[in-house]
Structure 1
């Protein structure tokens, strides 16, 4: 009986716990956790406005200022000049680069000179009869005629009667016809118009050439210009610069430049203005046709600027950190200095983000870390 009562008491206590336990637990709210929000760390540059100079650069290629295609006005078999020429060979002014076989034309001129001499000899009797005072002049002219040399200068006429007499015998007509053939004979030889270099050859010795056929391409040694496409908005900076420099791809200064001429139209491919400059090598540097060079000039800015990386500026806007919050500030890009931008309009000592954060919240707090 006693054991039975103990069991009933235990069961009663369990029942009370099961009924009132959930009710009591609902009265106790959940424990609130306090979360400490941490600020986002961003790298910044402390703005320091300084007077600086902006560098302007453009890219161009060295081209020959004087370039000629060697062509003949006559036809025939192509012969070697003073020496056999291949691309890269140099030559001196006045040297024979190429010639065309002139044997047939040469013998034809020999024959015409001989015939002309005979015409004058047959005329001596009439000259002695009608113009005895002019006889010695014409005899002296005949003595100077050599079949293998150019005709000497035709004697001048001392009277209209003498002139009409000579012309009636076709002496002047034949004389000038032979002189024309002599001039044409000189076109069988091509002499170098300057000191230069062979760039390309299009025909070999022994081939047959026709009038206007290109034989080779030659350029004048040491006479170069640089063609540089320059942005329209930057052209005035190069035009007004006190000094222009040419730099090799490795940034070595190879020479100075001077603008020769500027195109009046925009290059449709580059949307720039084609500008042509002379180049004067310095410090022992050599310039070759086809070299790619950077054209550079510097201009001192009137406004003070802050040097920033490209990543800090987007559409002429930067972000500065003020009271742990981001502020967007509109600025002015004044130019380039190496790989950086020169920016005007930034408050002194402002903390400028090194990289512009797109879609950043103005309510998020940030912590600055100076680079």
Structure 2
């Protein structure tokens, strides 16, 4: 009985092994399924070359085109005036900015003028006798002489004898000494050279002012100037008087300036050239930071694309018969986000957005508006 059971189990084991072997052989010969090809969808544009204006972005700070730094050339006490000497104070043209106590020096000037007058009066009798032909003009000069006004110019010498006579009495040297003193006396009062505003006040009324001391700064707020640095490659394209678009940092305000000067030398370190832009607007203040957009030139037969579409090899992706390919291009100008290209044939279908892991030969499908509506 035991032998019969073992014999049956053996037969069953052999049969099971046969079917298992057959199953493994059948599965080994089955064809593996082919993985479907993945076609990537890309955004594309059709090229149409046109004239692209090249705009050079730059930035800088505004400074007053006309500014007047105040320095003392004499010494004395700062006398109070009708208008307080404070930053932000506005003045008219010719108005007194600073008046320094000059009573002592004024007396010195008056004494010198009196000596000149006396020295001329002392020779009048000799002039009447020896030079009667010139006596009238010197008499008229004395009558016009006013100690409280600027010393009038000496009469013209009509002969060498008259010149020797007048010079020998030290009248000419005394005259120029008086004019020198009057010139220095005028430095005790500083007047505004133009209508403007005081932006810096370094002294107060009643303080002692010393010779050579800086007193403040005065500017004309009607015209400002901005200095920007432009690549030397555009130096020959910029022209004086050319309009320039300006914006503040926030981009909320726009202004229009014009190129007033272009430096004739190139900075050896940065290889840039200085360009100065004039701008006028009542809302502008000195020190404001503005961005300028200078129109350099118009590039014909060119296109403008995003910088991230240009490959390191100076190539861009194009689509040809649903296959991705690359073509060489010629970059002309780079801005912060854009690049101007040439040598791109009209009608080329170029990729408009960056492709992750893109390569020449990749199967792609151009995205259309119809697909967008269907989705």
TM category (shorter chain) comes to 0.7 to 0.9
Counterpart in 2 of 1:257?
258
Counterpart in 2 of 1:92?
92
How many matched pairs? 363
1:289 aligns with one of 276, 286, 303: 286
CA distance in 2 between partners of 1:280 and 1:26 (Å) = 91
CA distance in 2 between partners of 1:334 and 1:363 (Å) = 28
Tell me if the contact between 2:240 and 2:259 (Cα under 8 Å) persists in the aligned partners.
no
1:318 deviates by 0.9
Inter-CA distance 133–41: structure 2 relative to 1 (3 Å threshold): closer
CA distance in 2 between partners of 1:353 and 1:132 (Å) = 101
Gapped regions of structure 1 (runs ≥ 5): none
Counterpart in 1 of 2:45?
46
Counterpart in 2 of 1:7?
5
Once the two structures are superposed, what CA deviation does each residue of 1:306-327 show, in whole Å capped at 9, x if it has no partner?
Answer: x533322123311123344331
Counterpart in 1 of 2:59?
60
Inter-CA distance 267–22: structure 2 relative to 1 (3 Å threshold): same
CA distance in 2 between partners of 1:172 and 1:139 (Å) = 16
**Backbone CA RMSD of aligned residues:** 3.5
Pairing of 1:65-84 with structure 2 (within 5 A): 65-84=65-84
Once the two structures are superposed, what CA deviation does each residue of 1:152-201 show, in whole Å capped at 9, x if it has no partner?
Answer: 33344455444433333323322321222112211211111111222222
Counterpart in 2 of 1:153?
153
Pairing of 1:84-123 with structure 2 (within 5 A): 84-123=84-123
Once the two structures are superposed, what CA deviation does each residue of 1:19-53 show, in whole Å capped at 9, x if it has no partner?
Answer: 64565455434344303233142422132314243
3-state SS of 2:233 partner: helix
Which range moved further: 65-74 or 246-255? 246-255
1:356 deviates by 4.8
User: What TM-score do the two structures reach when normalised by structure 1?
Assistant: 0.81
Counterpart in 2 of 1:266?
267
1:289 deviates by 2.5
Gapped regions of structure 2 (runs ≥ 5): 370-375
3-state SS of 1:303 partner: strand
3-state SS of 2:354 partner: coil
Counterpart in 1 of 2:211?
211
1:370 deviates by 4.4
Inter-CA distance 42–241: structure 2 relative to 1 (3 Å threshold): farther
Tell me if the contact between 1:55 and 1:336 (Cα under 8 Å) persists in the aligned partners.
no
1:67 deviates by 1.9
3-state SS of 1:115 partner: helix
3-state SS of 1:107 partner: helix
Once the two structures are superposed, what CA deviation does each residue of 1:62-108 show, in whole Å capped at 9, x if it has no partner?
Answer: 32222221123222223345411322222121111112221111011
User: What TM-score do the two structures reach when normalised by structure 2?
Assistant: 0.80
